[in-house]
């Protein structure tokens, strides 16, 4: 087996508790080159394997994007029509502009439509208090709800934070896109993805309900976190955060493992037509943002060091300029020794990161489950992993 230069660093990071165990996977577009390896234990004492089932959080978004684009292919919705036809709840939303001297919110009418393209690229103006200072201030003004929300409509019918298409703000667009898939298909996201994504790609261990599947429940691991001293400690019940919701949240409620998830990455990298038409994948990887939204995205990610790590997903923001596709952010410049320009990437809150480099023909992911998000060690080691894999891939192609 080839020697990979990143492995000693990952072993050391797990042994001295800088990482709570990690699964790494990579594959090329042909399926002939493959890397799968896991390291370490989490704070619960569970050994991590490449088939360990984790909360994949916002890695769910790529699957929901594919499901939504399948609706476009079937002619059920157009990327640029007003989604109000399918989501009338969004039709009444106004734009939150400012707060007056007494702290009361002020609004303006929405100008233009909210489209599926906007939802998939986080350029609709929809967000959530966890991401938007404006919505945090609004939540303080309103006070706590009488009872916890249980549906996407109840929880995410928040005012827009900018006019559609004029900015970029991470938020709830993919949760609403999941609602579009369910309403147009007549199936739950679980049923739909199993029939149209997970099944065709043989993604055996992916679900929104892992405890209902014995094989997944047996493989599911717990969440770890770093305390104020940097020590890894176990978290309990965190991965049940969606258990009291009535809806399936297509933006972040999925569970899966690295060896299943890489099959979707590899299919899109190869553009093999198994879940989407070739022209659809080409559109997904095309930069989508308006100039204003692109500027907003890059300024936001560079605003502070933590958000830089969270939002960059191992892109080097000292030189990179990002755009956004219909599935993840896109780097417009080469990363030396690894990602080529045009690479799509995103991740998940508990420090998961994936990438698809169609130019090089290589994709992969780092799966772990630890908080807080944006772990500095993960960002650094992910780049080392990529450089090692790209180096071995170049050797492999010469054989």
Structural domains for the chain? 7-59+206-397 (3.40.710.10), 71-185 (no CATH)
Torsion (CA) 16, 386, 288, 194 in degrees, nearest 10:
-80
Residue-level pLDDT at 306: 82
Residue-level pLDDT at 2: 63
Say if CB 323 and CB 289 are below 8 A apart: yes
Looking at residue 115, what DSSP letter applies? Answer: B
Range from 144-158, 166-180, 321-335, 344-358 carrying the lowest mean pLDDT: 144-158
Percent of the chain at pLDDT > 90 equals: 91
Q: What are residue 262's DSSP bridge partners?
A: none
Residue-level pLDDT at 241: 75
Residue-level pLDDT at 242: 84
pLDDT of residue 204 exceeding 60, the answer is yes
Tokens of residue 367, six digits: 């799966």
Query: What number is the average pLDDT over the span 300-319?
Result: 91
Query: What number is the average pLDDT over the span 116-121?
Result: 98
Say if CB 382 and CB 343 are below 8 A apart: no
Residue-level pLDDT at 261: 98
pLDDT of residue 1 exceeding 60, the answer is no
pLDDT of residue 83 exceeding 80, the answer is yes
Query: In whole angstroms, how far apart are CA 296 and each of 106, 201, 323?
Result: 22, 35, 10
Q: pLDDT grade, residue 322 (50/70/90)? A: very high
pLDDT 10s digits, 152-195 = 999 999 999 999 999 999 999 999 999 999 999 999 999 999 99
pLDDT of residue 238 exceeding 60, the answer is yes
Give the sheet arrangement for strand 232-235, strand by strand: 232-235, 223-226, 370-371
Range from 58-72, 103-117, 241-255 carrying the lowest mean pLDDT: 241-255
Query: What number is the average pLDDT over the span 196-208?
Result: 98
Residue positions annotated with a catalytic role: 58
Across 5-50, the runs of DSSP E, i.e. the strands, are: 22-28, 34-39
The mean predicted confidence, pLDDT, of the chain is: 96
Q: Is 43 exposed, middle or buried (0-12, 13-18, 19+ CB in 10 A)?
A: buried
């Amino acid at each position: 087996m080839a020697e990979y230069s990143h492995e000693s660093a990952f072993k050391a990071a797990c042994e001295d508790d800088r990482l709570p165990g990690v699964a790494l996977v990579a594959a090329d577009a042909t399926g002939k080159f493959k890397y799968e390896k896991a390291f370490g234990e989490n704070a619960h004492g569970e050994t991590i394997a490449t088939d360990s089932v984790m909360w994949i959080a916002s890695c769910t978004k790529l699957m929901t994007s594919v499901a939504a684009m399948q609706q476009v292919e079937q002619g059920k919705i157009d990327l640029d029509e007003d989604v109000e036809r399918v989501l009338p709840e969004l039709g009444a939303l106004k734009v939150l502009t400012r707060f007056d001297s007494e702290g009361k919110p002020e609004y303006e009418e929405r100008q233009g439509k909210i489209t599926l393209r906007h939802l998939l690229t986080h350029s609709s103006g929809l967000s959530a208090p966890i991401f938007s200072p404006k919505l945090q201030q609004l939540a303080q003004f309103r006070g706590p709800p009488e009872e916890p929300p249980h549906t996407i409509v109840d929880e995410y019918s928040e005012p827009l934070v900018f006019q559609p298409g004029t900015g970029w703000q991470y938020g709830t667009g993919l949760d609403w896109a999941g609602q579009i898939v369910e309403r147009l298909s007549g199936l739950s996201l679980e049923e739909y993805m199993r029939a149209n994504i997970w099944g065709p790609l043989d993604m055996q261990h992916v679900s929104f309900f892992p405890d209902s599947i014995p094989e997944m429940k047996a493989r599911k691991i717990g969440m770890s976190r770093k305390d104020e001293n940097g020590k890894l400690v176990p978290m309990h019940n965190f991965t049940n955060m969606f258990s009291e919701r009535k809806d399936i949240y297509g933006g972040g409620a999925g569970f899966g493992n690295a060896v299943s998830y890489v099959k979707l990455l590899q299919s899109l990298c190869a553009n093999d037509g198994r879940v989407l038409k070739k022209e659809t994948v080409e559109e997904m990887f095309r930069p989508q943002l308006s100039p204003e939204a692109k500027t907003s995205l890059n300024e936001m990610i560079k605003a502070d060091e933590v958000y830089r790590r969270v939002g960059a997903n191992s892109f080097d923001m000292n030189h990179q300029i990002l755009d956004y596709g219909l599935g993840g952010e896109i780097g417009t410049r080469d990363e030396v020794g690894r990602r080529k320009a045009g690479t799509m990437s995103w991740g998940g809150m508990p420090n998961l990161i994936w990438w698809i480099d169609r130019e090089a023909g290589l994709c992969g992911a780092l799966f772990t489950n630890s908080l807080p998000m944006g772990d500095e060690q993960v960002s650094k080691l992910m780049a080392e992993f990529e450089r090692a894999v790209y180096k071995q891939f170049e050797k492999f192609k010469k054989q």
